[in-house]
Amino acid sequence: MINVPEHIKALRPYTPGKPIEELERELGIKNPIKLASNENPIGPSPAAVRAITAGLKKTLNRYPDGNGYYLKNALAKKLSKNPPFPPFNKGGQREITYNITPENIILGNGSNELLDIAARAFLAPGDEAIMAHPSFVVYAMAVQAAGGKAIQSPLRDYRHDLDAMLSAVTPKTKMLFIANPNNPTGTMNTKGEFDRLMRKIRDGILVVVDEAYYEYVNDTRYADSFKHFRAGRDILILRTFSKIYGLAGLRIGYGIARQDIITEMNKVRAPFNTNSVAQKAAIEALKDKGHIKKSREINNKGKKYLYKELSSLGISYAPTEANFIYIPAAGSMDIYKKLLYDGVIVRPTGPDAIRVTIGLPEENKKFIKAMKTVMRNQ
Ligand SMILES: Cc1ncc(COP(=O)(O)O)c(C=O)c1O
C-alpha cells in the first residue's frame, strides 16, 4: 500500500464541463451544444490557426522554448503600450507606460497551472490561503495539494466581499485569491473596493488576481490590478488565452508579477510547461484585435438576449461581466440532466445554481427553448 498524505486523500478531483462527444456517446444525442466551460463560441483567431499549421512540420521534433521568449516579449510589449484598463473601453483609453518586461511574466499550461505553481512556490504546510465561495474551485484544490489550508469566505450578493476576506486574515495567511470577474457568478469588484483591499492587506500576503475573463468586462469601474503591480506590491495577475482568445485546447496562460515573485515561481515550473504550438498561436492571437472585438460584440448581444428571455420566463440571474450567466435554481442537478436530454450542456455549480456560457445566437435560442421545456415539466 502506498502511504498517501491526508491532505491528498481529502482532495476531490476537478469535474470539468461535460465534453460534447461524451454526451453523444452516452445518450446518443445528435449535435448537442456545450455551454458549460466558458469557451469562445466563435473559436480562435484564424491567424492563430494559420500559425499553428504553418509551424507544425518545422517544430514538432524539437522541444519548445521553455522560456517562451517571443511570446513573453509580445506580451510585455502589448501590456506596456496598451493601457490594460479599462479593457477595450472607448473613450477610456489613457496613454500609460506600464513598463512590463519579459522578466515580469511567467507562462503556464493554462492559467490553471500557474495557480498550482503559485501555491507550491509560496505555501508551506499549514499556511492559510483565503478565497471566496463560490469561486473558481481550483484555488482551494491548489492550496490543499500544496499542503496549505483553504479558508473560504462567502460571497455577498454574488460578489466577492473583500472586507470579509480581509477579516479572515490570520498570522498564517500567505495568499489571497480573487477572481475578477468571478467564476461562477460573473460578478466583478470595483477599483475602489480593490484599492481599499490593497491598502489594508499586510505585505507578505500574495494577492492573486485571476483575470481570466477581464477582456469581456464592460463596466468601467473594474479594478485596476496593474496599478498595484506598478507600485511594487505583492500581487500576481493571471490571464489566459483560453477564454476570449478561443485557445482553451492549447493550454496557455500567463502571469504578471514583480521579478522576484516570478523567479520563485520559475523554480517549481516544469522546464517545458508550454508547448511550441501554443506559444506561436498565442502570439498571433494577441495581434488580432478584430477577433477580440467580434467576440465581445457576440457576447454582449447574447447577454442582452438571454437577460430578456430569462426575465420573461421569471428566472432570476446574476448580472454578469463575463461570458457566462449564473442562475440560482433549486434542484440544479435535475435541471442539468433534463437539459442534457434536450442536447444542451450547462454546468451545475453546487446544488442550487446552474451556470450557462453565452453562446452563438442559435445556441442561446436552443438553451432558452430547452429551459422552457424544463419549466413546463416541473
Ligand atoms: C476564473 C478562472 N480562472 C482560471 C481558469 C483556468 O483557465 P485556463 O487554465 O484554461 O487558463 C478558469 C477556467 O475556467 C477560470 O474560470
Convert 285-314 into a string of H (helix), E (strand) and C (coil): HHHCHHHHHHHHHHHHHHHHHHHHHHHHCC
Beta carbons of 190 and 224 less than 8 angstroms apart: no
Class of domain 6-43+290-376: alpha beta
What grid cell was written down for 74? 509580445
Q: Maximum distance among all alpha carbons in the chain?
A: 63
Inform me whether the pLDDT recorded for 77 exceeds 50.
Answer: yes
Domain(s) labelled CATH 3.90.1150.10 in the chain stretch across 6-43+290-376
Q: What does the pLDDT read at residue 17?
A: 84
Distance 61 CA to ligand 1 centre (A): 29
Instruction: State the span(s) of the chain assigned CATH 3.40.640.10.
Output: 46-288
Q: Best mutation site among 215, 242, 320, 355 for ligand 1, i.e. most ligand atoms within 8 A of its Cβ?
A: 242
Q: Which residues, 6 or more positions from 214, have their beta carbon under 8 angstroms from its beta carbon?
A: 84, 87, 180, 181, 222, 239
Q: What is the whole-number distance in angstroms between the Cα of residue 116 and the centre of ligand 1?
A: 12
| Other beta carbons within 10 Å of 195 | 14
| pLDDT for res 351 | 87
Residue with cell 470579509: 164
Residue 337 — φ and ψ, nearest 5°? -65, -40
How remote is the CA of residue 357 from the centroid of ligand 1, in Å?
13
Q: Which residues pair with 304 in a beta bridge?
A: none
Whole-number Å distance, alpha carbon 314 to ligand 1 midpoint, is 30
Who contacts 132 (Cβ-Cβ below 8 Å, separation ≥6)?
152, 153, 154, 155, 160, 161, 165, 177, 178, 179, 182
The answer to whether residues 257 and 104 touch, using CB atoms and an 8 Å cutoff, is yes
To the nearest 10°, the Cα dihedral for 99, 75, 182, 354? 170
pLDDT of residue 376: 85
β partners of residue 344: 33
Residue 99: half-sphere exposure toward Cβ, Cα within 13 Å? 7
Average pLDDT over residues 188-202: 97
**pLDDT score, position 95:** 46
pLDDT higher than 90, residue 112: yes
Mean pLDDT over each residue of the chain, to the nearest integer:
93
- Quick check: helix, strand or coil at residue 150? strand
- In the predicted model, is pLDDT for residue 360 greater than 70? yes
Residues with CB under 6 A from ligand 1: 38, 110-112, 136, 179, 183, 210, 212, 240, 242, 248, 253
pLDDT above 60: residue 289: yes
Nearest CA to ligand 1 atom 12: 212
pTM equals 0.95
pLDDT beyond 60 at 83: no
Residue 158 to residue 181: CA distance in whole angstroms? 11
Tell me the pLDDT tens digit for each residue of 227-240. 999 999 999 999 99
Closest approach atom of ligand 1 to CA 241: 11
Q: What torsion, rounded to 10 degrees, do the Cα atoms 346, 347, 352, 353 define?
A: -70
Give mean pLDDT, residues 300-325: 97
The pLDDT of residue 96 is 52
Give the phi and the psi of residue 45 in degrees, each rounded to 5.
-60, 135
- List of residues 6+ apart from 376 with CB closer than 8 A: none
Q: Which atom of ligand 1 is nearest to the CA of 253?
A: 11
pLDDT for position 90: 52
Distance of CA 1 from the midpoint of ligand 1 (Å): 35
Q: How confident is the model over 113-159, as pLDDT tens digits?
A: 999 999 999 999 999 999 999 999 999 999 999 999 999 999 999 99
State residue 28's pLDDT score.
86
Residue 297 confidence (pLDDT) above 50: yes
Atom of ligand 1 nearest to the CA of 38: 14
Residue of the nearest CA to atom 3 in ligand 1? 212
Four-way CATH pick for 46-288: 3.30.70.1170, 3.30.565.10, 3.40.640.10, 3.40.50.720: 3.40.640.10
Percentage of the chain beyond pLDDT 70 is: 96
Which grid coordinates are listed for 56?
507544425
Distances from the Cα of 86 to the Cα of 215, 233, 258, angstroms: 9, 20, 22
Q: What is the pLDDT of residue 81?
A: 73
Kindly provide the residue ranges of all beta strands, DSSP E only, lying in the chain, ordered along the sequence: 33-34, 105-108, 128-133, 149-154, 173-179, 206-210, 235-240, 253-256, 324-328, 344-345, 347-348, 353-357
Tell me the CA–centroid distance for residue 138 and ligand 1, in Å.
Answer: 9
What is the Å distance from ligand 1's center to 107 Cα? 14
pLDDT(87) > 80: no
Q: What is the pLDDT of residues 205-225, one digit of tens each?
A: 999 999 999 999 999 899 999
Instruction: Point out the ligand 1 atom lying closest to the alpha carbon of residue 114.
Output: 9
- Please report which confidence band the pLDDT of residue 97 belongs to, taking 50, 70 and 90 as the band edges: low
**Measured from the CA of 251, which atom of ligand 1 is nearest?**
10
| Distance separating the N- and C-terminal Cα atoms of the chain | 48
Mean pLDDT of 189-208: 97
Nearest residue to 204 via CA among 167, 174, 172? 174
Write the pLDDT tens digit of every residue in 327-344: 999 999 999 999 999 999
